[in-house]
Amino acid sequence: MSIIVNKNSKVLVQGITGSEGSFHSAQMLEYGTQIVGGVTPGKGGTLAVDNKINVFNSVEDAKYATGADVSIIFVPPSFAAEAIIEASEAGIEVVVCISEGIPVRDMALVKRVIDQNETKLIGPNCPGVITVDECKLGIMPGFICKKGNIGVVSKSGTLTYEAIGQLVNVGLGQTTAIGIGGDPIIGTNMTEILSLFEKDGETEGVVMIGEIGGQMENEAAKWAKENMSKPIVGFIAGQTAPEGRRMGHAGAIVSGGDDTAKAKMQILEECGISVCESVADIGKKMKKALNK
């Protein structure tokens, strides 16, 4: 099984004719992702990605012609919120937004729309989703993954890759790896992803990577304590960050309460999660947790 996407997902690429969209579409096709169309306003009727993919003027047109149920967005931040809303209004079930720098005010509107339409949004400002050996959506390097039984959910793109590498180093593969994004307003939170992994019959353990700022990791840990039967290994980035300093992601700023790395690590441990002080310990901790 898988969560979010699988080999049967029919994918649209919004912004497919841009440099990023074109490059990563080629990578996704090579991995085996079923891209059924692209969307660039004004370029409908043309072909993209080495003349392999039909381009449409709108998501509505593309969905009607292809039956797509998933969309991935590679458009500039000033147009990205509108692109998400267009996909949601067209009835696309899952939307992955890679774009970074979308204004918070725009995302507040997006959040209302996707909640109303029951659209599952991953991102923005994220590396995407990969269901190993089935479907790659985004910028994650597929070759680092190995098919297995560990789910990965992370706020950080590069730490997602590091967690996968550490798991593979100890012989553990992945079911699905998801970078949810580090912005203040994102589409899907950690608790929602943990719930999907808990229901997935193939996932036997989960790696959860958070960072300073906000309450998402704390809320997910408390939910997991009451609802998860599978072991979780956690890591919190930003352990040496000065108080009040914004670190990379727009949501990673500490107010001095229980959103510091130290406080979050303590809460995770109190909720039964195996916490790593270093990403280098993720694989070993998970292997130990599975053997209990």
Residues with catalytic roles:
249
252 vs 265: CA distance, rounded Å = 15
- Nearest to 120, CA basis, from 8, 1, 5: 5
Q: Give 48-54 contacts, CB < 8 A, sequence gap 24+.
A: 48/16, 48/17, 48/22, 49/16, 49/22, 49/25, 50/26, 53/13, 53/16, 53/25
What is the three-class DSSP state of 45? coil
CA distance from start to end of the chain: 24
CA-based max dimension of the chain = 57
DSSP 144: G
Helices (H) and strands (E) in the chain, counts: 9, 14
292 vs 283: CA distance, rounded Å = 15
Task: Please report which helix (H) or strand (E) contains residue 13, including its range.
Answer: strand 11-14
Which phi and psi angles does 38 have, rounded to 5°? -130, 160
16 vs 21: CA distance, rounded Å = 4
* 44-54 burial code (b ≥16 CB/10 A, e <16): eeeebbeeebb
